[in-house]
Amino acid sequence: MNRFKCPACGGNQYTACGTAEGCIYCGHKELKKMEILEPKEGEGMREIKFRGKRLDNGEWVYGSLLMSEPQEKSLEPLHCFIFPLDKGYHRVIPDTVGQFTGLHDKNGNEIYEGDIVTGLFNHTDIIGHIVYGSDATFFIERKGLYGIGLNNAEDWLEVVGNIYENPELLKE
């Protein structure tokens, strides 16, 4: 038996084969073969949760996400609901839904898809917003420039707002 760990989502998968094709959880292509079968403390998958702005009062709510597609002949748009850890659920504005990256900034704040972040990268001050990429990883998208990975985010990144409430922060 072999254990493989996904660097994108932190998922562990087991196989009798000596290789693994890709992550069964997030689809990331390259997995790391681990020496031991059992994950160490804190080595499991990142916490999967979402946030969105409530439709009724505009407040942010955090928790599990449920999306319901519109019926074929319905003119009603996509419905999104966030189920907080406490109880109940709240309908949220679909365009404001963002996934938790599993990372924190240098001040300990959780980093979500849609957050605007700043930091010093390669001796240059940068600003951009968090995007979930097609290869199942999060990165910083910057206007007209290459994206930046979130490696060691807790050492250099700071969340300064989000694209829904503070879009002016991204204007040059």
Task: Provide the domain limits for residue 10.
Answer: 1-45
Q: Are residues 60 and 89 in the same domain?
A: yes
Tens digit of each residue's pLDDT (9 = 90 or more) over 6-20:
887 777 777 767 777
Q: Are residues 64 and 6 in the same domain?
A: no
- How far is the C-alpha of 34 from the C-alpha of 79, rounded, in Å? 41
C-alpha pair distances (Å), 28 with each of 24, 50, 170: 8, 20, 29
Q: Are residues 114 and 145 in the same domain?
A: yes
Tens digit of each residue's pLDDT (9 = 90 or more) over 117-164:
999 988 889 999 999 887 778 889 988 777 888 878 888 999 999 999
- The pTM assigned to this predicted structure is 0.70
Tell me, what CATH number does 123's domain have?
2.30.30.290
Q: Are residues 64 and 22 in the same domain?
A: no
Q: Are residues 119 and 165 in the same domain?
A: yes
Q: pLDDT band at 53, cuts 50/70/90?
A: very high
Residue 73: how many CA atoms within 13 Å on its side-chain side? 0
Q: Quick check: 57 and 66 in contact, CB under 8 A? A: no
Q: Quick check: 14 and 2 in contact, CB under 8 A? A: yes
- How far is the C-alpha of 148 from the C-alpha of 24, rounded, in Å? 25
Q: Are residues 58 and 92 in the same domain?
A: yes
Number of domains in the chain: 3
Q: Quick check: 109 and 123 in contact, CB under 8 A? A: no
